Structure 1
Amino acid sequence: MNLTALQQRASLNQQVRVFFAERAVLEVETPALSQAGNTDPFIDSFSVNTPQGLRYLHTSPEYPMKRLLAAGSGDIYQLCKVWRRDESGTRHNPEFTMLEWYRLGFSWQQLMQEVADLLHLLIPHLQQLPHFRSYREVFLETLQIDPHVADVAELSVVARERGIVINGEMSVQAWRDLLLTHCVEPQLPTDRLTFIYHYPASQSALATVQMHQGQAVAERFEVYLGALELGNGYQEQTDAARNRLLLTQDAQTRGNDIPVDERFLAALEQGLPECAGVAVGIDRILMCRMQVNDLKQVIAFPWEVA
């Protein structure tokens, strides 16, 4: 047991609650188990057999929180445990703590600034102002290539020049992801936050998509400290038909092994207010706050001994 980590986590949670109370953002609770899991092809849910049937541990409180927004809750936040079938390592624990919040009438740019304000409060040794860079800019600055227009051949050449050799075929998006994680993220500054925004439209998830400099881009952002990703935010897609299409396509990509959340989609048909939302990983923020490099140093009971 690391008593300092327990104390720091308690202090951090208190600061989070004061931060949102001062902004009149309501704390809510939603179920950890639901009848529908996450259909995102890149996120796997844990399932649980119950007397009432199969249930899924939530990978994020996004869907029920949006149901509350559609029902008129106003601005809300939640501090909760979530579960993802990820590998266990220095930056991953299958059970972790997430802070997610939604702001009505906010743009994604306003939300980025609020995220920066909160993270500077929670990680007090951060003194430098954040960097704000588009997805295109970080690729041009680091790799001298425009990821929105480069094809597979061009991206693979850039990878090979940096010693990355892949056997077999990969999609354009897979090459972008590889270059981002192996080449761009390691070059991000360690003394300040970096916000990367305007991801390719193919990575929009449930964010809105707009044209920018001749390219369709997702109105979403990710925030990093060094190469460590801390959070992911969207200008939320409010079109019910678009949301249904995205979830259905994701389910089909997965092989329809996870049911689409029809209660979530029904709530959206009643009308999701214009809003921006973000989720940040509290355990990783606590790592940064304590200036340690392993999640096991900030979690009382890591996965292996839980």
Structure 2
Amino acid sequence: MNLTALKERASLCQQVRVFFGQRNVLEVETPALSQAGNTDPFIDSFSVNTAHGLRWLHTSPEYPMKRLLAAGSGDIYQLCKVWRRDERGSRHNPEFTMLEWYRVGFSYQQLMREVADLLHTLIPHLQKPARFCTYRQLFLETLHIDPHVAGEAELAACARTHWINIDSDMSAQGWRDLLLTHCVEPQFPPDQLTFIYHYPASQSALAKVEHSDGQSVAQRFEVYLGGLELGNGYQEQTDAEQNRHILERDATARGSDIPVDERFLAALETGLPECAGVAIGIDRVLMCRMQVDDIKQVIPFTWEVA
């Protein structure tokens, strides 16, 4: 047990509550177990057999929090445990702590600024102001390639130029992801927050899409400290039909029996207010705050000993 980490975690959570209390954002609690799991093809849920049937541990409180928003809750936040299968390593633990919040009437640009304010509060040694860059800008600066225009062959050639040799028939998005993680992210300054926004529309998930510089781009962002991703935010897609299309498409892509969350979709039919939302990995923020490089140093009971 790391007593220093325990105290720092308690202090950090208290600061989070003060931060949102000053902004009149309501703290809420939602169920950890749900009758529907996450249909995202890249995120795996844990399932649990109960006396009342199969349930899934949530990978994020997003769906029930949006049900609250649709019911008129106003601005809300939640600090909670979430679970994701097969995520282990120096930056991953299958059970981790997430901070998620939604701001009604906010643009994602406003939310990025609020995220920067919170992270500078929680990581006090950060002195430089955050920098905000588009996805395209970072690829042009680092790799001299426009990721919105380049096709599979050009992206693959760029990867080989940077000593990434993978014998694979990947899609253009697969190559973009590889170049981002292996070439772009390592260049982020270690002492400054970096926000990336305007991702390709193919990565919009449940974010809205806009047109910028002749391209369709997602109204979403990710925030990093150095090469460590801390959070992911959206201008939330409020169209109920579009949300249904995305969830059903993802469920088909998974080819699994995880049911689509019909209660979430029914709530959206009543009207989700225009809002922006973000999820932050609290354990990673604590790593940055304590300036350590392994998540095991900030979690009192890791997966192996839980």
TM interval, shorter chain, is: over 0.9
Pairing 1:130-209 to 2, within 5 Å after superposition: 130-209=130-209
In structure 1, the partner of 2:18 is 18
Matches within 5 A, 1:10-89: 10-89=10-89
Q: Give CA-to-partner distance per residue, 1:165-201, whole Å, 9 cap, x none.
A: 1112000000000000011000011110000000000
TM-score (norm 2): 0.99
Report matched runs for 1:184-263 at 5 Å: 184-263=184-263
Deviations 1:47-89 (A, max 9, x none): 0000100000000000000000000000000000000013311
- Please give the residue correspondences for 1:91-102 in structure 2 after superposition, counting only pairs within 5 Å: 91-102=91-102
Q: What amino acid does structure 1 have at the position aligned with 2:275?
A: C
* 163-172 vs 262-271, which moves further: 163-172
Whole-Å Cα distance in 1 between the matches of residues 15 and 229 of structure 2? 21
Once the two structures are TM-superposed, the CA of residue 92 in structure 1 deviates from its matched residue by: 0.4
SS in 1 for 2:173: helix
- Alpha-carbon deviation of 1:256? 3.6
Q: Given that residues 200 and 218 in structure 1 are in contact (C-alpha distance below 8 angstroms), is that contact kept between their aligned partners in structure 2?
A: yes
Alpha-carbon separation, structure 1, partners of 2:103 and 2:261: 23
Q: Which residue of 2 aligns with 1:293?
A: 293
Q: Write out per-residue CA displacement over residues 32-61 of structure 1, whole angstroms, 9 at most, x where no aligned residue.
A: 000000000000000000010000000000
1:99 Cα deviation from its structure 2 partner: 0.1
- Give the residue type in structure 2 aligned to 1:242: Q
Gaps of 5+ in 1: none
Q: 3-state DSSP class of the match of 1:263?
A: helix
Unaligned runs of 5+ in 2: none
% of aligned pairs identical? Answer: 79
CA distance in 2, matches of 1:19, 1:93: 26
Root-mean-square deviation (Å) = 0.5
Report the TM-score, using the length of structure 1 for normalisation.
0.99
- 1:46–1:56 CA contact under 8 A, matched in 2: yes
SS of the equivalent of 2:195 reads strand
Partner AA of 1:64 in structure 2 = P
The amino acid across from 1:267 in the alignment is A
SS in 1 for 2:167: coil
Stretches (4+) displaced over 3 A: none
Instruction: Render the CA deviation track for 1:187-245: whole Å, top value 9, x for unaligned.
Output: 01111000000000000000000110000000000000000000000000000000000
One-letter identity of the residue aligned with 2:168: G
Partner of 1:103: helix, strand, or coil? strand
- The question of whether the paired residues in 2 share the 8 Å contact of 1:123 and 1:285 is answered with yes
8 A contact 1:84–1:95 mirrored in 2:
yes
Shift of 1:257: 2.4
Could you give the per-residue CA deviations for residues 244-293 of structure 1, whole angstroms, max 9, x where no partner exists?
00000000000142100000000000000000000000000000000000
Counterpart in the other structure of 1:275? 275
Alpha carbons 1:223, 1:230 under 8 Å: kept: yes
In 2, Cα distance between equivalents of 1:178 and 1:40: 19
